[in-house]
Amino acid sequence: MKRRELDGCPITGALQMLGDKWTMLVVRELVSGAKRTKELLNSLFPISSRTLVGRLRDMEKDNFVERTDFGGNPPHIEYALTERGRLLLPLLESLRQLGLTLGCSDCRERKLRVGSYCEPCPLNENGIDLPPSTYEHPAQRPSVTPHRRDKDDSIVLL
């Protein structure tokens, strides 16, 4: 991803490094350890291989992941989080909590759709513990129903 000269705000800089929605999902998949490109591609469906490789290259340049080439035919390449990449784990947990609080999805919904919880999910028996950020079991959290407007007053531009 091409970097632009921005306003100098640390938030802007961090958001530029994180890039897009796939970066934190790659981090989520690498929490448990190194994975091959094909494993990441399968677990991050519907990401395209071109998008995944681009994100991995950007993350490698930013020192979030480490690329290890074991050679061979077919090529055996693995990616793992670096110490700098592990700094994103509290943010990952905060995003999970925010998604639950806003009612975006529920961990059990992923289990139904994909067949398993995310590796760092507290409901996953084999899960990886993320750095603490005061999370509790989702069942203890009050349910939040988003407010819907009675009438749609949105404007559609053609």
Q: Which residue is listed with tokens 């993350």?
A: 59
Give residue 126's domain range: 88-135
Q: Answer yes or no: do 73 and 5 share one domain.
A: yes
Digit-coded pLDDT (tens) for 80-114? 999 999 999 999 989 888 888 888 877 788 788 87
Please count the CA atoms within 13 angstroms of the CA of 109 that sit on its side-chain side: 7
Q: What are phi and psi of 78, to 5 degrees?
A: -125, 150
Domain presence at residue 70: yes
Query: Mean pLDDT for the chain?
Result: 79
Q: Answer yes or no: do 70 and 34 share one domain.
A: yes
Q: How confident is the model at residue 123 (pLDDT cuts 50, 70, 90)?
A: confident
